[in-house]
């Protein structure tokens, strides 16, 4: 199927979705309202599903429309990148590109972002350091560090790229053996696999109450890295507090089950940190952009 012919319709869809109005989108694109509406009808016909809900108050995205918008924004990024590369053809990025990041972001955020970055800049030579410890940019000759949690005072530049929330998970087999916790008191009786940064007194939040509550848990095992905690949990040895970016694929595949869905652990901001004092190199800006996009797709 030749889907390239739908590119123009996709760009109209992005404008309508972002403006929340066919009229405003048409004005932005320099076309008529009826032409914008026709593009969307043709797009929905080609896909066989609705991407927008229409009402007298305006338009809103369907579930499919939300996913499509994120994909289209990635496509827009690439179009902008083409023109940026043409304008900076003599400065095509090349050579070593070193990044450090926590294990929780490796598979579903960093690797996809880096794959796209290397497709766009094939002369880059990536160096990846997965570590749950904070590594200094200068001392470790790093270009970018993805940092979890509050930023220390420093001369480095930083931008927020996403957030992650810890949630309680366990395998179905573990829960069959030990019963599913129904209350916080039940939770405290279960075997807990703790990472190095998690303390026995855990800060929790309930969906209906934004104020934190504190629960004392008894670690069954302590590990120095997230992969070790996950490996023990997947062997049915206990509950684990997992970042949602790690947990979501496992929950979807049925390998893990979320415990006490209305209760979450700490929420952590994620920052991209670099040491460039002036304007960032184009591949650094693009990497940050891709990290934000892949966070949004989770």
154 SS3 class: coil
Divide the 298 residues of the chain into consecutive groups of 10 and give the mean pLDDT of each group. Answer: 74 86 86 87 86 83 85 74 58 88 92 94 94 88 92 84 93 94 90 90 83 88 92 95 92 94 90 86 92 84
Supply 182's token pair.
């129904």
Q: What is the distance between the alpha carbons of residues 209 and 288, in angstroms, rounded to a whole number?
A: 33
Predicted confidence at residue 90, as pLDDT, reads 47
The pLDDT assigned to 210 comes to 74
Cβ neighbours of 75 (radius 10 Å): 14
Evaluate the CA torsion angle 201, 202, 208, 211 in order and state its sign: positive
Query: Do the beta carbons of residue 169 and residue 257 sit within 8 Å?
Result: yes
The helices-and-strands tally (H runs, E runs) of the chain is: 10, 14
Question: Could you report the per-residue pLDDT of 209-250, keeping only the tens digit for each?
Answer: 778 889 898 888 999 889 999 999 999 999 999 999 999 989
Task: Choose which CATH entry (3.60.15.10, 3.40.190.10, 3.40.309.10, 1.10.3720.10) describes domain 93-162+269-297.
Answer: 3.40.190.10
Instruction: Give me Rg for the CA atoms of the chain.
Output: 23
CATH 1.10.10.10 positions along the chain are 3-87
pLDDT of residue 76: 74
95: left (phi over 0), alpha (psi -120 to 50) or beta: left
Residue 121 tokens read as: 């800049």
As assigned by CATH, the class of the 3-87 domain is mainly alpha
CATH ID of 164-267, from 3.40.50.300, 3.40.50.720, 3.40.190.290, 3.40.50.150: 3.40.190.290
Query: Which pair of structure tokens corresponds to residue 187?
Result: 């939770």
C-beta of residue 72 within 8 angstroms of C-beta of residue 10: yes
The whole-number pLDDT of residue 276 equals 85
- The model carries a pTM of 0.66
Where does CATH 3.40.190.10 sit in the chain?
93-162+269-297
């Amino acid at each position: 199927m030749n889907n390239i012919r739908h590119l123009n319709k996709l760009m109209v869809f992005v404008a309508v979705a972002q403006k929340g109005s066919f009229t405003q989108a048409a004005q932005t694109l320099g076309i008529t309202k009826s032409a914008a509406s026709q593009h969307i009808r043709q797009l929905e016909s080609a896909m066989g599903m609705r991407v927008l809900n229409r009402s007298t108050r305006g338009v809103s995205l369907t579930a499919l429309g939300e996913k499509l918008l994120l994909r289209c924004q990635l496509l827009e990024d690439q179009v902008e990148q083409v023109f940026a590369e043409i304008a900076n053809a003599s400065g095509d990025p090349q050579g070593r590109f070193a990044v450090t990041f926590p294990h929780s972001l490796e598979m579903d955020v960093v690797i996809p972002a880096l794959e796209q970055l290397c497709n766009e800049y094939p002369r880059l030579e990536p160096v990846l350091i997965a570590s749950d410890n904070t590594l200094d940019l200068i001392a470790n000759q790093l270009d970018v560090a993805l940092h979890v949690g509050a930023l220390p005072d420093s001369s480095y530049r930083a931008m927020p790229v996403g957030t992650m929330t810890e949630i309680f998970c366990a395998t179905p087999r573990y829960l069959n053996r030990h019963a599913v916790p129904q209350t916080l008191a039940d939770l405290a009786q279960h075997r807990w696999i703790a990472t190095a940064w998690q303390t026995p007194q855990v800060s929790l939040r309930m969906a209906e109450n934004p104020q934190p509550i504190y629960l004392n848990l008894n670690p069954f095992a302590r590990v120095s890295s997230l992969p070790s905690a996950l490996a023990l949990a997947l062997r049915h040895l206990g509950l684990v507090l997992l970042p949602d970016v790690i947990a979501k694929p496992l929950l979807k595949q049925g390998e893990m089950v979320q415990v006490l869905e209305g209760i979450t652990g700490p929420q952590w901001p994620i920052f991209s940190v670099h040491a460039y004092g002036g304007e960032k190199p184009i591949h650094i800006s693009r990497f940050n952009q891709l990290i934000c996009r892949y966070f949004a797709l989770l």
